[in-house]
Structure 1
Amino acid sequence: MSVASLALRQALHAGLNGFAPLTALLGGPKVFDEPPRTVAFPYVTLGDAQTSDWSTDTSTGHEHSVLIHIWSRQGGQTEAHLIAGELVAALETVALDPVGQRLVNLRFATADIRREDDGRTWHGVVRFRAVTEPAA
């Protein structure tokens, strides 16, 4: 993982946990890199990240594909859809400041919500695309 990718993940973690509408739906700041064993549903985890070179002849940059996972067991798929909507709203609203990086672009790409094999858990996967460059 690159320094840019780690800085982006840390900024996402802080920004999402600080977005009041999302924390209200989750019942607190429940966005985790790795959830505690005893965490109550619903919660969100930062998932896989893919980083690729986005440099030009004159500047250095990285393109990031970031997955954010939603875990819910309440009210069918409704809660997972509401949380997905707040994730998108948060990342359209919150000013993220990755340390040592400038966030050039952050866009929603896709969302997928499905029932897990246990028949009780709804799992949402929301993908975002970001571009960063070193801060000047």
Structure 2
Amino acid sequence: MDNKDPVWPIQVAIFQALSNDQQLSADVTGVFDHVPDSTAFPYVTTGEVTTTPSGAHDRFGARSTITLHGWSTYNGKKEISEIANHLLRILDHKPLQVDGFHAVYVHHEQTVTMTERGNDIRHVAVRFAIETELIPN
């Protein structure tokens, strides 16, 4: 039985889902794993991922969480709230095509808004839980 780690396939699937969404793309300059230095605000980054085994006797499964981050210099929380709403619309309780895995569910777990670096950058962290099962060869 393969014990394939779903972390990278999940990140790729989420990146594709976000990057292919026209409404989100109209409101942010991009979706990034690593943000180039000259990138203008607002944008979305993929963040922290955790994975815990949760399979059955006959298959490998995992419960993963991924935190997505929205960044803005808008004076107030309106823009980061709109980014969070896009992320929820695109991912929460929606099917996700994860290469090599069946995504059993994608659920929103938590949203946190913050003010960063001298009160000039607004930040929202949106965490999702994703249950996956390895697709047998």
Q: How does the TM-score come out when normalised to structure 2?
A: 0.91
Q: Match of 1:5? A: 7
Q: Match of 2:51? A: 51
SS in 1 for 2:91: helix
Q: Which moved more, 1:111-120 or 1:31-40?
A: 111-120
> 1:58 and 1:96 mapped to 2: Cα distance?
23
Deviation at 1:111, TM superposition (A): 0.2
> 2:104 and 2:65 mapped to 1: Cα distance?
14
Deviation at 1:74, TM superposition (A): 1.4
**Structure 1 outlier segments of 4+, above 6 Å:** none
SS in 2 for 1:3: coil
> 2:106 and 2:48 mapped to 1: Cα distance?
16
> 2:77 and 2:126 mapped to 1: Cα distance?
14
Deviation at 1:57, TM superposition (A): 2.2
Q: Match of 2:38? A: 38
- Give unmatched runs, 5+ long, in structure 1: none
- Give unmatched runs, 5+ long, in structure 2: none
Deviation at 1:114, TM superposition (A): 1.2
Q: How does the TM-score come out when normalised to structure 1?
A: 0.91
Percentage identity across paired residues of the two chains: 27
Q: Deviations 1:6-46 (Å, cap 9, x if unpaired)?
A: 1010000011011111111114xx11001111100000100
**RMSD (Å), alpha carbons:** 1.5
Contact persistence 2:94–2:105 (CA under 8 A)? no
